Amino acid sequence: DKLLLDVKNLHVSFDTYAGEVKAVRGVSFNVNRGETLAIVGESGCGKSVTAQAIMQLNPMPPGRIKEGNILFEGKDLVKYSDRKMETVRGKEISMVFQDPMTSLNPTMKVGKQIMEGLVKHQNMSKAEAKERAVEMLRLVGLPNPEKRADQYPHEFSGGMRQRAVIAIALACNPKLLIADEPTTALDVTIQAQIIELMKELQLKLDTSIIIITHDLGVVAKIADRIAVMYAGVIIESGTNEEVFHNPHHPYTWGLLKSVPRLDRAQKERLIPIYGTPPDLFAPPPGCPFAARCDYAMKICKDHYPMRFDLSDTHYTHCWLEHEMAPKIERQKAEGG
Ligand code: SF4
Ligand code: MG
């Protein structure tokens, strides 16, 4: 069975003093074995909350899954107890965060931190685990892995720390790696190296990856499929090719215009998307992007756009796809 993860109609809310924040509002997607899915969107769109829901991690309380299923190899993680989730986290599914220092213990040698999971989940002896830790540090491209294993995180550069975090995450050979903005804290050249590394490791270890980012440019080289999220919903999803070369949602066009492109003039101005996402205390009944969309029609404000399938792998939620909608000049809209 090639289907590894199948998220169905996920709703996640946060209960606050001011009311219920509907952070994720009916999200469905799946990840096949050995595949990379990118979830892309601005901060606050619900992409990190979705990842945390899969892991059932903090800050889940006061967040709660209101509805939906998270089927991992056919078993629904939503129904798992905390105790049962412990056998999944770090072993079957691992997570890498933006700031490597949130995952690293500053007072423990890096090699020891890799060994911890191996001893806990794989029942390895200390000697075996030590050997595997050094092997993992070599695999993530750190020179002198034996020496590095005996050092503390502060002796590593930012890029090296993220490599170490990836080594910890992959040490137990998880089936799924969730990387939430894994390169955002790093400078541009190091970013490219970390993405390259993740791609290489995926081929070697056959891990599936969910990469979460606000920057479409980061995932161009690594994602097989892309889901674009806005205000708690997926507004467009397709293969890498479909989203980059045949995007259909005005918000995706906006994201693409804000990505530096090598095939364009170097100094070309990147165009930001003006305005702010809607208030998730009271999401609008219609298209959540309507207030910022250059193409908004009357129907957009009143009715949530239905799903339009553009191919077996590509869909969008936008009224422009309706046969009654005015035809717009797509090339111009995309800025292509
Ligand atoms: Fe714009 Fe309407 Fe499409 Fe929403 S449904 S993205 S408001 S055209
Ligand atoms: Mg986030």
269-277: average pLDDT: 75
Cα 25 to Cα 280: distance, rounded to the nearest angstrom: 10
Residue nearest to ligand 1 atom 3, measured at CA: 318
- In this predicted structure, the answer to whether residue 1 has a pLDDT above a threshold of 70 is yes
Identify whether the C-beta of residue 13 lies closer than 8 Å to the C-beta of residue 21.
yes
Q: Which atom of ligand 1 is nearest to the CA of 293?
A: 1
Q: Give ipTM to 2 decimals.
A: 0.96
pLDDT of residue 175: 96
> pLDDT tens across 248-268, in order?
999 999 999 887 655 555 455
pTM above 0.80, yes or no: yes
List residues, by chain if needed, whose CB lies under 5 Å from ion ligand 2: 48
- Mean pLDDT, to the nearest integer, of 300-305? 96
Residue 281 CB-density burial (10 A; 0-12 exposed, 13-18 middle, 19+ buried): exposed
Q: What is the pLDDT of residue 310?
A: 97
Nearest ligand (C-alpha, residue 249): 1
Q: Percentage of the chain with pLDDT > 90?
A: 74
* pLDDT surpasses 80 at 334: no
Work out the mean pLDDT of the chain and round it to a whole number.
Answer: 91
Which ligand 1 atom sits nearest the alpha carbon of residue 300?
2
| pLDDT one-digit tens code per residue, 208-230 | 999 999 999 889 999 999 999 99
pLDDT digits (tens, 9 = 90+) for 90-149: 899 999 988 888 889 999 999 999 999 899 888 899 999 999 999 999 999 999 999 999
Give the tens place of pLDDT for each residue, 44-80: 899 999 999 999 886 666 789 999 999 999 999 999 9
Confidence of residue 15 (pLDDT cuts 50, 70, 90): confident
**CB under 8 A, 24+ apart: contacts of 256-263:** 256/216, 256/334, 256/335, 257/334, 257/335, 259/215, 259/216, 259/217, 259/220, 260/217
Atom in ligand 1 nearest the alpha carbon of residue 251 = 6
pLDDT of residue 138: 95
CA 301 to chain CA centroid, nearest Å: 29
pLDDT band at 332 (very low <50, low <70, confident <90, very high): low
Residue 189: pLDDT band (50, 70, 90) is confident
Q: Which three-class secondary structure state does DSSP give residue 149?
A: helix
Ligand 1 pocket (Cβ < 6 Å) reads 249-250, 287, 289-290, 293, 295-297, 300, 305, 318-320
**Which pLDDT score is estimated for 336?**
47
Mean pLDDT of 173-183: 94
